[in-house]
Amino acid sequence: MHFKKIIIMVTALAMLGSMSVAFAQDEEKNDDLARVAIITAKDGQGKALEEAIVKYHHFMGTKEGAMRYHWFSFVTGPDTGKYLARSGDHNYEDFDAKHDWDEEASEKFASMVQPHIKNAVVTITKGDDEMGMWPDSLEDYPYYSVTHWHVHSGKGSAFNEGLKKIDGILKEGGWPNYYTFIRPISGGVGNTVMVVSPRKSFADMAPKEPEFMEIMSKAMGEDEAKAFMADWGSTFKSGKNGLLKHMPKQSDYGDAK
């Protein structure tokens, strides 16, 4: 690498932010799928869209079996000003579900919300149930850093093996930040891994001890750690990074306590 790439990797892990993000994971085991929409409001209609989605969610709050979306706003990165809506903790068959209220809900969305939307890009993602560290509750974590890694063609196995090794070392070494890995399974860019990390505040994003390379060097030796990171870093390319902020009002379906 490219020492520069090591720095990019360390920075990504330091900022690390499925996204079921926002929402303590269900106790019942599921396929950990999520439906995610990146939404752009029409010019000057962001506030109107935010108000409309509150009304629509309250309308949907009484619909049995409806997906429930958490809303976020992008506060940094190339998508600044856009929104992310996410419904998580799903099984594959959930996306085939039909309801007697589907038509009514579609008409309500078309009249109430759609007029304020310029476009929306939908992706189905899957969380990693083996790697990562996640808090029991996300109540105190309004921010989520999201970094995209693009794995090079033919390097998938080497990337995954290296990531598993890093994950194990971080867990053993007392890495001070939570993180998870998410991959798109429909939509999005192929061979992409999204690294998501919840943060309590901007101050919580400051570097903490022990640092990443300190943990790696303690486990592997300084020279071996540098060589390993250089080799593993050649398996992927760092992509965009952005910070999301949870929008509790827009995520409420009228039954929040």
For the chain, what are the domain ranges?
A: 1-257
Question: Is there a contact between 214 and 154 (Cβ–Cβ < 8 Å)?
Answer: no
- Residue 237: strand pairing partners: 150
Helix spans in the chain (H): 2-15, 46-60, 102-112, 156-173, 212-220, 222-233
Quick one: pLDDT at residue 29?
80
Higher pLDDT, 72 or 17: 72
Residue 6 has pLDDT above 80, yes or no: no
Task: Give residue-wise pLDDT tens across range 135-171.
Answer: 999 999 999 999 999 999 999 999 999 999 999 999 9
Q: Percent of the chain at pLDDT above 90?
A: 85
Residue 236: phi and psi, rounded to 5, are -150, 170
Tell me if the domain spanning 1-257 has CATH number 3.30.70.100.
yes
Task: Give residue-wise pLDDT tens across range 216-226.
Answer: 999 999 999 99
Task: Round the average pLDDT of the chain to a whole number and report it.
Answer: 90
Quick one: pLDDT at residue 256?
61
* CA 132/CA 175 separation, integer angstroms: 11
Question: Is there a contact between 216 and 169 (Cβ–Cβ < 8 Å)?
Answer: yes
Task: Give residue-wise pLDDT tens across range 26-83.
Answer: 456 899 999 999 999 999 999 999 999 999 999 999 999 999 999 999 999 999 999 9
